[in-house]
Structure 1
Amino acid sequence: MKYDFDKIIDRKLGKCRKWDNKILKEKFGLNEEAIPMDLADLDFECSPAIKKALVDRASLGDYGYTYAYDEYYDSVIEWNKRRYNVNLEKEWIKLTFGTVGTLHYIVQCFCKAGQGVMINTPAYDPFEEAIKRNGSKMVCSTLKLVDNRYYFDFEDIERKIVEDNVVLYILCSPQNPSGRVWSKEELHRICDICIKHNVLLVCDEIHRDVIFSHSPFTTLWNSHEDIINHSIMCISPNKGFNLGGLKSSYIIIKNAAIREKMLKYLEKVYVTSPHVFSIPAIIAAYNESEDWLDQLTDYIESNFEIVYKFFEENMPKAKVMRSDSSFLAWIDMRNVFKDEAEMKEFFIKANISVVVGSYFVQDGEGFVRLNIGCQKETLNKALDRIKKTYCN
């Protein structure tokens, strides 16, 4: 193996929010020996190319205002072409300060108070925050759970779009918290519905860089020939390359009218010059770190196999959803604990921080999400704690 993903790094040295003792105590009731498996970032050192790019940039001693220069656009365009077979143009791309904040701006820009915004639940909680803080109406379409796998309810989606005056649909692809990769056919049908009812489709693809071998991924713009003019793509290297602290997300909009309206709004809220380290980090990620990402993906996929086997052998009443992507294990604990309060107490006793299902807007009660984007030593230590706590 070219890269050592078993190498343990002390993330407390970098004031990592996930590993901070004070936060773990105040938020979860855990002590300094806690293993955090909640916040969705990776416990691995970043790629050598990214580290070198940032060290080289830092050595200049100049941290003034910067801009998105040509090398940045070239790297984004080439990455999307090479990795996802999408042809982009420079003017379609806009660097932003993080996907969550950008979703707030998109809702504010395109939705009036009272208008409907659709999401599929369970869903990442900031989707709800973006909708409700704008005074818009959140419209939820519950994902159907069949044989421990999620599916769209297309009839429910279309009916609610019509009945609830939905003007915008936030789609998570791959899905968080389950890691479900939607098929080209599923995405095509969602696109058909949105185009038919003039709904702006906003696709969050921030988890797409870590896709497992059994799950071919189709980016939204390759699922339907017309959706490119009816959508906004939200992209980020932050999950796959662990750059969350650099706020290096971007959006892609082809449609000129939609793009102009969005860019004017971003000017209004003063989204201007990027983080001085985000540009070199993205360039190094996309231009020099693809082999690192591929090895990372294999490592995480093998972590999932450890998790599947562990729960099957030691907690068989728990149902771990088979993931297609990312590093977040979504586990149905409804047959293990009588309620979520009991489950929370269990993980406090195990001294592990997790994200409980009620966080995901609705339809997640009784589930738990574990971040397994960590070294196998850490993962096995956490699983051993779960086993010992369960047996006692």
Structure 2
Amino acid sequence: MYNLDKVIDRKQGNARKWSNQVLKEKFGLNEDAIPMDLADIDFEVAPAIQKALMKRASIGGYSYSYVPDEFYEAVIDWNQRRYDTYIEKDWIKLTFGTVSTLHYIVQAYTEKGEGVLINTPAYDPFAEAVEHNERKLFCSSLINRDNRYYLDFEDMERQMIENEIKLFIFCSPQNPSGRIWTKEELFQLAELCIRHNVLLVCDEIHRDIVYKNQTFTSIWNAHPEISQHSVLCLSPNKGFNLGGLKTSYVVIPNPAIRETLLLQLQKNSITSPHVFAVPAIVAAYNESEDWLDEMIDYVEGNMQIIDDFFAEIPEAKVMPSESSFLAWIDVRDWFKDEAEMQRFFRRANLTMVVGSYFVQDGEGFVRLSIGMPRELLLEALSRIKKEYNKSVELV
């Protein structure tokens, strides 16, 4: 129904991922490079979203805006329909992006020097939100068992007690692996947070891209009490590629917890939303679900291509993914260090994210963003294969 094979020129829109300047200065690549680093997708946005933005642009006024009821209605309906999650209007606060919101959250609920826990490997801005605000970062390593991540509940509880953890920033589904936590795992996690009075901040922004035979459970549906002890970070940015419109939001049922964050947002002067954010979110949630479903199937097909391709390279091992458009690949048997890995991808004229970016426990891995038209993906893999064959010939 939708032409996801269409290759669009993202350079025209000043997309950071495709910027010739960024490709040259950050990666040492030329304008023909295929970027596989930044976690966004390269498909043309859903038609309903384009239409809504063009309609809003035609009005001609782009001054201060506010959040109308249609935004709240769209969010409430989407979460109920798609995730069986009950939300009330007063619980919702539109913010300016999940990363910046994590900084406000750390500022609101902790004091300088207090402990914040994350699982690793983790998206580096989780750590930055802690360390840049002069809090103490503590990491609980995920257990890599048979090429699949598991939570170390014993270690997490020990750290909560010994390090007097105040806040736990948790990613569900997990980035970079695409691992979907089971309802039982989430229940056990919630139990720990409640037992030790740790505020749980659950980042679920990757949940919109879950493969068709997988089951995602929102944290609030895993435990009957955790909604009163948590902050839920949500966004249409990953599923609908709206990162440039600052369309993230938080949901907080507990009035005392909610008021604490709202006061912090006032201190940081977080006021009127991006003028195009609301029409984009409303069009995404109300009119673009069929586009999303089709895109998910397409991305899952891309992931199968990735699995099949790297199965032919014995030195690489793809961690099976259950969600998202990010491939997490163990290349410890391929490259002696990350410098060698970077040189390889530079020769292939491709970007990627090295595993050490993910705070800790990611060394020897590479993350590839594969949410792209198949023509681009196959060309990227062809370049990898060409460089790999060269290296094998030299041995």
TM-score tier after normalising by the smaller chain length = over 0.9
Aligned to 1:36, what secondary structure does the other structure show? coil
Which residue identity does 2:353 align to in structure 1? V
SS of residue paired to 2:140: strand
Q: 1: distance between equivalents of 2:298 and 2:194?
A: 39
Task: Map 1:220-231 onto structure 2 (within 5 A).
Answer: 220-231=219-230
1:384 to 379, 382, 388: 382
Aligned residue runs from structure 1 range 343-354, under 5 A: 343-354=341-352
> Which amino acid in structure 1 is aligned with residue 352 of structure 2?
V
TM-score (structure 1 length as normaliser): 0.99
SS in 1 for 2:170: strand
1:173 corresponds to which residue? 172
Distance 1:31 1:268 in 2: 43
What is the CA deviation profile of residues 37-83 of structure 1, one whole-angstrom value per residue up to 9, with x for unaligned ones?
Answer: 00011100100000000000000001111111000000000000000
Tell me whether 1:290 sits opposite 2:286 in the alignment. Answer: no
Residue 35 of structure 2 is aligned to residue 18 of structure 1: no
Structure 1 position 215, deviation (Å): 1.5
Deviation sequence 1:16-38 (CA, Å, 0-9, x none): 10000110111011111100000
- Aligned equivalents of 2:213, 2:179: Cα separation in 1: 12
Give 3-state SS (helix, strand or coil) of 2:301's partner: helix
Aligned to 1:353, the other structure's residue is in SS state coil
User: What is the CA distance between 1:214 and its match in structure 2?
Assistant: 2.4
What one-letter code is carried by the residue in structure 2 that aligns with 1:297? I
The separation in 2 between residues aligned to 1:161 and 1:391, in whole angstroms, is 48
AA in 1 matched with 2:218:
T
C-alpha distance in 1 between matches for 2:110 and 2:93: 20
Which residue of 2 is the match for residue 323 of structure 1? 321
Hey, which bits of structure 1, 4+ residues long, moved more than 3 A?
A: none
Query: 1:146 maps to what in 2?
Result: 145
1:64 alignment partner, SS class? coil
Q: After superposition, where does 1:1-392 map in structure 2 within 5 Å? A: 2-313=1-312, 315-392=313-390
Distance 2:87 2:163 in 1: 34
Shift in Å, 1:113 = 1.2
Q: Tell me, in whole angstroms, the C-alpha distance in 2 between the residues paired with 1:348 and 1:330.
A: 19
1:281-300 Cα shifts (integer Å, max 9, x gaps) = 00000000000000000000
* Consecutive unaligned residues in structure 2, runs of 5 or more: 391-395
Output the CA distance in 1 between the equivalents of 2:134 and 2:90: 31
Identify unmatched segments of 5+ residues in structure 1: none
| In 2, Cα distance between equivalents of 1:151 and 1:115 | 26
- Partners of 2:216 and 2:280 in 1: how far apart? 24
Q: Which amino acid aligns with 1:345?
A: R
Note the alpha carbon deviations across 1:230-251, whole angstroms, 9 max, x for none. Answer: 0000000000000000000000
Question: C-alpha separation between the residues in 2 aligned to 1:113 and 1:265?
Answer: 15
Distance 1:344 1:11 in 2: 24
Q: Distance in 2 between the 1:46 and 1:231 partners?
A: 32
Deviation per CA, 1:147-169: give whole Å up to 9, x if none. Answer: 10000000000001100110000
RMSD (CA atoms): 0.5
Distance 1:31 1:66 in 2: 40
Normalised TM-score (structure 2): 0.98
Matched to 1:123, the amino acid is A
Q: CA deviation at 1:317?
A: 1.7
| Structure 1 SS opposite 2:22 | helix
For each residue in 1:172-191, what CA deviation from the matched residue of structure 2 results, as whole angstroms up to 9, or x when unmatched?
00000001000000000000
Give the match for residue 393 of structure 2.
Answer: none
**1:256-314 deviation line (CA, Å, top 9, x unaligned):** 1000111011011111000000000000000000000000000000000000000112x
Distance 2:267 2:131 in 1: 21
The residue type equivalent to 2:67 in the other structure is: A
Q: In structure 2, the residue corresponding to 1:336 is in which secondary structure?
A: coil
Count how many residue pairs are aligned between Structure 1 and Structure 2. 390
Q: Per-residue CA shift, 1:118-148, capped at 9, x if unaligned?
A: 0000000000100001111101000000110
Aligned counterparts of 1:16 and 1:123: Cα–Cα separation in 2? 24
Q: What is the CA–CA distance in structure 1 between the aligned matches of 2:127 and 2:164, rounded to whole Å? A: 17
Q: What secondary structure sits across from 2:107 in the alignment?
A: helix
Read off the aligned partner of 1:284 and give its amino acid letter: A
Residues of 2 paired with 1:215 and 1:103: CA distance?
28
SS of the residue corresponding to residue 368 of structure 2 reads strand
Task: Measure the CA separation in 2 of the matches of 1:104 and 1:324.
Answer: 28
Deviation digits for residues 72-126 of structure 1 (CA, Å, limit 9, x no counterpart): 0000000000000011110000000000000000001111111110000000000
In 2: Cα distance, 1:214 partner to 1:81 partner:
20
